[in-house]
Structure formats: structure tokens, C-alpha cells
């Protein structure tokens, strides 16, 4: 019984912040207007770039995850954490890093320039490149988890039978895991906006989210914003249905948690080559952010540390909340939870912020609850990632040990403590880390709410830029990246202490 109430509460909060905020915006709207030709162009662009970005992210992630699953080497854990970094970067910081590598004066063009060539990052391919940069880490992590979930006994069996590990184990696992990873990344790219605009090179790269921004902040056309937000949810539902139809049932079975031994590890060069390529692609821009930020560290004002502390508090709060909600929802399970698990991905952060503002305004001063609302919203927006990681682990535990537990009458807290938690702490830590890092870099919800004394770190960085202090802003970006990564690392580490990954 202990599972029911927290699950219901979590579901209610997610629904309130996604569909509830949308309803609040709708109720406040005047007459809605229809969609223009430009809107349809935006919808077409949004969907096509999201499909291609998600496909490529998953496609590239498979060999990288495979290599990481097959090889053990010194610093592998640290590398896996570091490779996750781009996903955690605030958009604006990631763009700076990408341009330092692929931009007009970037490293790539410096090298190509020696041969008299140059490439432009701006255009459809630039949008896709940026989205792959952001999402390859997530795809790799999700698929790697699939790999690590194959029980050691299966590899033994395959080796005994001299069967193809790829055909018997890895391909079925991918068919199970990859569609979900594709869906998540498709939905992330669906609500992208500033990256698409900047690297897309202009209005051809207009996304639905940009149209929502315009409607909310510029035209004050709430009806239009709500309509566009509905379209995003609609796209989300269609994508989810398609993916679920493709999904298959897991038949891997339970294992005894032995250390995996592989008998099929020839050709190490291919694996290490993949890891090196991924590391280069993902870490070079990150390195440039660090390099450009170092001089700015000395120009940072004192107030940045108060802002950083505020951001950390919000991030840690979101992390615990998000992990707790995910676990509660995962334990409840069922189709509704699956829907709730993807809803926040399709939610526009801007609509969530505006709707939340409309909901709280009649009761309290929005500035008084700015940080709490930010925490709740960030926990909700990060929930799909945490839930995706946790739900499959919980489902596995239930499938593998449910009957045994039932026969032992192991229920309630005891079941949770003895069986579930030890087995899901890895995804739990991962999910909490993601929530913390994503919350750290969030700028969306706070802008409507913030009072005078509630500057968060991303807001401080943006203010520095707005005041011409680009060097100091780069320094703030570095602090932000460092703190995001550190928080992620701490949670993720806590989740897999003594666990081989």
C-alpha cells in the first residue's frame, strides 16, 4: 500500500505542471487565432530536424555504447561521466563551445584553412550537429544501460553455445532500448529553440517553441501560445504511439548479478577508435568552454557565489524530488505512468512558467515562491529522463523477483529496502544527477518570477552578457559547467558506489 499515495501525488504534480499550466494559459486567453503558413513551415521544420537529430544520435550512440560496454580500462568511469557533460550544458554555453570548434574561426576551420577549405556550421546541418552533440551522451547512456542489464549468465550461455552475441543478445536488447531512446531525444529536439535559431542561420530554422516565445513574450497572444503548445503535445502523443507499437517485450530474464565475462572481444581497435571519436566530438567543445572561461574567472563579481549557492539549493532539491517522484511512479507502473513519463518532454518551458505564474498569482506573490516553483518545475521537466532510467530497472526487479517476494510475503518497505533499492540505485543516482544538472542550467521558469534577490547562476551569466561583460560571462559559464558536472557526478557516484560501471 505504501506505493499508492506517493505515486498518485507525483502523477498529479506532473499533470498539474504540464497540462494544468496549459489549461491556465488557455483560460486566460482571448479568442484564439488559427495557424498561418509560417506556423506550418515551423511545424515541418521542427519535426524534420527532430527526427533526423534523434535518428543520428541513436545511430552513433550504438557503437559508442557497445565499445564502452565491451572494454574495461583505467578512467572508464570518469570518461563515461565526462561524456555525459554536453547533455547537461546550458544551451547558450554549448553554443559558445560548438562555435569555438565548428564556427568560422573555430578549430575545424583553422585546420581546414591550411588546405584552403572551410565549412560553415550554419544551416540545417548545424542544427542537427548541435542536437547530436547535446543528445549523443544521453543516447549513449540509455543504450549503455541496456547493455549492462544483460545478465552475465546470458553471455556465458552464448559462449557455451558458440552463438553470436550480437544476434542472440545485443540486437534484441537494442530493439528493446533504442526506440525509447529515440523517442526521448525526438521530444527534446521538438522543443528546442535558441540552438536551432542560432545554428540554423535564420528564420528558416524557426521551431514551434520560438513561435510560442513570440506569442507569449512579444505578442501577448496567450491563445496562440496555448494552441502551439497543444500541437507540441499532439506531436508527442503521435511519436509515443509509434514508438510503443514498435516496442517488444523483454525476454532477457533474471541473472545473479555476476560480473560479466566476455569471450568475444576481438578487434579492440574498433572499440577504442569509437570511444576516441566520441570523446573528441563531445569533449573538444567542452574544453573550449573551459579555456575561454578561465580568464573570466578573475573578473567574476562576489554576487556570483550567492547566485551559485541559490542554484545549487534548487538543483539539489529538484534532484531529490525528481528521484523520489520517479521511483514512486515506477513502482506504480502502468500505461498512465508511461504517458506521464513523456508529457514533460513535450511541455514548453515557457508555457509551464506562464501557466504556473497564472496559477499562483491569485494566492501568493510570485516572487516569494520563485525558487520553489523553479524547483518543482525542474524536477518535473527532468522526470522523463529519471523515470526512463528507473522504470525499466523497477520493472525488471518486479519481473525477476516479484514472485519470489510474494512467496516470502516480502512487501511494503521491506520489499523496497531489501530488493528494489539496491537494484535501482544506479539508475536512481543517474536520474537524480540529471535532474540536478538540468536544474542548475535552467533559465526558463525563473524569468517571469524572479524578484530582486533571487538571481540564479544562469541568470547572473545572462545579466553579465547583457551588460557587455562577455569575459566575465564566460567565467560564469565555466563555473556553471563545473558545478553542473560536479552535482551530476556526486549523485551518479552515490548511485553506483561499489557497482561496476
**Min CB(197)–another protein separation in Å:** 6
498 binds another protein per the rule CB under 8 A? no
Alpha-helical runs (H) found in 31-123? 37-70, 76-83, 85-88, 91-102, 107-113
To another protein, the closest distance from the beta carbon of 436 in angstroms equals 15
How far is residue 296 from each of residues 99, 169, 299, 305, 460, measured CA to CA in Å?
A: 18, 50, 5, 14, 14
Q: Does 226 bind another protein (CB under 8 A)?
A: no
Scanning 143-151, 248-256, 405-413, 452-460 for contacts with another protein by CB under 8 A, the matching segment is: 452-460
217 part of the interface to another protein, by CB under 8 A: yes
Q: Binding of another protein at residue 216 (CB under 8 A)? A: yes
Nearest to another protein of 201, 255 (CB atom): 201
For another protein, which residue of 2, 4, 27, 28 counts as binding (CB under 8 A)?
28
Q: Can residue 105 be called a binding residue for another protein (CB under 8 A)?
A: yes
By CB neighbour count within 10 A (0-12 exposed, 13-18 middle, 19+ buried), where does 365 fall?
Answer: exposed
Tell me how far apart the alpha carbons of residues 425 and 492 are, in angstroms, rounded to a whole number.
9
Question: DSSP of 408-456, one letter per residue?
Answer: TT--HHHIIIIIIHHHHHHHHHHHHHHHHHHHHT--TTHHHH--TT---
Angle, helices 222-246/335-346, rounded to nearest 10 degrees? 130
The yes or no reply on residue 197 touching another protein (CB under 8 A) is: yes
Of residues 232 through 291, those in contact with another protein by CB under 8 A are: none
Residue 93 engages another protein in binding (rule: CB under 8 A)? no
- Strands (E) in 143-195, as ranges, are none
Residue 241 CB, shortest distance to another protein, in Å, is 32
Q: Of the two residues 388 and 469, which places its CB atom closer to another protein in the complex?
A: 469
| Contact track, another protein, 352-391, x by CB under 8 A | --x--xx--xx--x-xxx-xx-------------------
Site string for another protein, 307-326 (x = CB under 8 A): ------x---x---------
Helices (H) and strands (E) in the chain, counts: 24, 0
∠ CA 182-70-420, rounded to 5°: 65
Residue 439 is a binding residue for another protein (CB under 8 A): no
Region from 65-73, 178-186, 337-345, 443-451 binding another protein, contact rule CB under 8 A: 443-451
Length of the chain equals 501
Number of other CB atoms surrounding residue 490 within 10 Å: 16
Residue 298 interacts with another protein (CB under 8 A): yes or no: no
Q: Using CB under 8 A, which of 30, 116, 218, 497 touches another protein?
A: 218
Residues 33-92 within binding reach of another protein (CB under 8 A): 38, 41, 92
Distance CA 479, CA 113 (A): 33
Q: Which of 485, 49, 486, 487 is nearest to 282 (CA)?
A: 485
CB of 303 to another protein, least distance (A): 6
Cβ-contact 322, 435 below 8 angstroms = yes
110 binds another protein (CB under 8 A): no
Burial class, 284, CB count within 10 angstroms (exposed 0-12 / middle 13-18 / buried 19+): middle
Direct distance between the N- and C-terminal alpha carbons of the chain, in angstroms, rounded to an integer: 33
Site residues (CB under 8 A) for another protein, limited to 463-492: 463-470, 473
Check binding of 459 to another protein (CB under 8 A). yes
448 counts as binding another protein under rule CB under 8 A: yes
Kindly state whether residue 133 participates in binding another protein, applying the rule CB under 8 A: no
107 binds another protein (CB under 8 A): no
Pick between residue 136 and residue 359 the one whose CB is nearest to another protein: 359
Q: Grid coordinates representing 362?
A: 491569485
Report the nearest approach of another protein to the CB of residue 32 (Å): 17
Q: How far is the CB of 487 from another protein (least distance, A)?
A: 16
Q: Any contact of residue 451 with another protein (CB under 8 A)?
A: yes
Q: What span, in angstroms and rounded, lies between the C-alpha atoms of 228 and 191?
A: 11
CA–CA distances in Å: residue 405 to residues 413, 425, 463:
12, 19, 55
**C-alpha–C-alpha distance, residues 189 and 47, integer Å:** 9
Nearest C-alpha neighbor of 329 from the set 249, 431, 236: 431
Q: How far is the CB of 42 from another protein (least distance, A)?
A: 10
Question: At 276, is the secondary structure helix, strand, or coil?
Answer: helix
345 vs 443, beta carbon nearer another protein: 443
Interface stretch with another protein, choices 102-110, 232-240, 245-253, 331-339 (CB under 8 A)? 102-110
Q: Which is nearer to another protein, 371 or 428 (CB)?
A: 371
CA gap 135, 380 in Å, rounded: 19
The DSSP code sequence of 238-257 is: HHHHHHHHH-----------
For another protein, which residue of 154, 223, 279, 447 counts as binding (CB under 8 A)? Answer: 447
Residues that bind another protein (CB under 8 A): 28, 38, 41, 92, 95-96, 99-100, 103-105, 122, 193-194, 197-204, 210-211, 213-214, 216-218, 220, 301, 303, 313, 317, 354, 357-358, 361-362, 365, 367-369, 371-372, 447-455, 459, 462-470, 473
Amino acid at each position: 500500500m505504501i506505493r499508492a499515495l506517493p505515486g498518485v501525488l507525483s502523477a498529479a504534480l506532473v499533470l498539474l505542471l504540464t497540462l494544468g499550466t496549459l489549461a491556465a494559459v488557455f483560460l486566460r486567453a482571448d479568442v484564439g487565432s488559427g495557424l498561418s503558413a509560417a506556423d506550418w513551415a515551423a511545424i515541418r521544420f521542427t519535426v524534420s530536424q527532430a527526427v533526423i537529430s534523434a535518428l543520428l544520435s541513436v545511430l552513433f550512440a550504438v557503437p559508442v555504447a557497445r565499445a564502452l560496454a565491451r572494454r574495461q580500462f583505467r578512467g572508464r568511469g570518469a570518461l563515461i561521466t565526462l561524456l555525459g557533460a554536453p547533455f547537461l550544458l546550458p544551451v547558450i554555453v554549448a553554443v559558445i563551445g560548438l562555435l569555438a570548434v565548428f564556427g568560422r574561426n573555430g578549430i575545424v576551420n583553422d585546420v581546414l584553412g591550411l588546405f584552403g577549405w572551410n565549412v560553415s556550421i550554419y544551416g540545417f546541418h548545424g542544427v542537427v550537429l548541435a542536437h547530436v552533440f547535446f543528445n549523443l551522451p544521453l543516447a549513449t547512456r540509455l543504450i549503455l544501460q541496456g547493455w549492462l542489464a544483460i545478465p552475465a549468465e546470458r553471455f556465458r550461455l552464448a559462449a557455451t553455445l558458440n552463438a553470436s552475441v550480437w544476434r542472440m543478445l545485443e540486437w534484441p536488447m537494442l530493439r528493446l532500448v533504442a526506440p525509447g531512446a529515440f523517442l526521448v531525444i525526438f521530444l527534446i529536439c521538438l522543443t528546442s529553440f535558441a540552438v536551432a535559431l542560432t545554428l540554423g542561420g535564420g528564420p528558416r530554422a524557426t521551431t514551434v517553441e520560438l513561435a510560442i516565445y513570440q506569442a507569449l513574450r512579444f505578442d501577448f497572444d496567450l491563445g496562440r501560445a496555448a494552441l502551439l503548445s497543444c500541437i507540441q503535445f499532439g506531436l508527442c502523443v503521435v511519436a509515443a504511439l509509434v514508438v510503443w507499437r514498435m516496442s517488444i517485450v523483454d525476454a532477457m530474464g533474471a541473472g545473479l548479478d555476476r560480473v560479466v565475462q566476455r569471450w568475444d572481444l576481438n578487434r579492440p581497435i574498433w572499440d577504442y577508435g569509437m570511444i576516441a571519436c566520441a570523446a573528441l566530438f563531445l569533449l573538444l567543445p567542452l574544453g573550449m568552454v573551459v579555456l575561454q572561461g578561465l580568464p573570466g574567472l578573475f573578473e567574476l563579481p562576489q554576487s556570483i557565489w550567492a547566485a551559485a549557492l541559490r542554484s545549487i539549493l534548487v538543483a539539489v532539491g529538484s534532484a531529490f524530488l525528481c528521484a523520489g517522484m520517479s521511483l514512486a511512479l515506477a513502482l506504480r507502473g502502468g500505461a498512465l505512468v508511461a504517458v506521464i513519463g513523456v508529457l514533460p518532454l513535450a511541455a514548453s518551458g515557457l508555457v509551464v512558467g506562464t501557466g504556473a505564474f497564472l496559477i499562483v498569482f491569485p494566492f501568493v506573490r510570485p516572487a516569494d515562491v520563485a525558487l520553489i516553483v523553479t524547483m518543482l518545475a525542474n524536477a518535473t521537466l527532468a522526470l522523463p529522463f529519471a523515470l526512463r532510467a528507473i522504470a525499466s530497472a523497477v520493472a525488471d526487479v518486479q519481473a525477476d523477483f516479484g514472485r519470489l517476494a510474494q512467496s516470502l510475503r516480502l512487501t511494503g518497505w521491506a520489499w523496497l529496502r531489501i530488493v528494489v533499492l539496491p537494484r535501482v540505485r544506479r539508475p536512481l543516482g543517474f536520474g537524480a544527477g540529471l535532474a540536478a544538472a538540468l536544474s542548475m542550467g535552467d533559465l526558463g521558469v525563473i524569468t517571469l518570477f524572479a524578484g530582486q534577490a533571487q538571481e540564479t547562476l544562469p541568470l547572473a551569466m545572462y545579466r553579465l552578457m547583457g551588460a557587455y561583460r562577455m569575459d566575465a560571462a564566460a567565467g560564469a559559464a565555466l563555473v556553471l559547467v563545473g558545478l553542473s558536472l560536479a552535482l551530476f557526478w556526486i549523485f551518479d557516484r552515490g548511485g553506483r558506489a561499489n557497482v561496476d560501471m
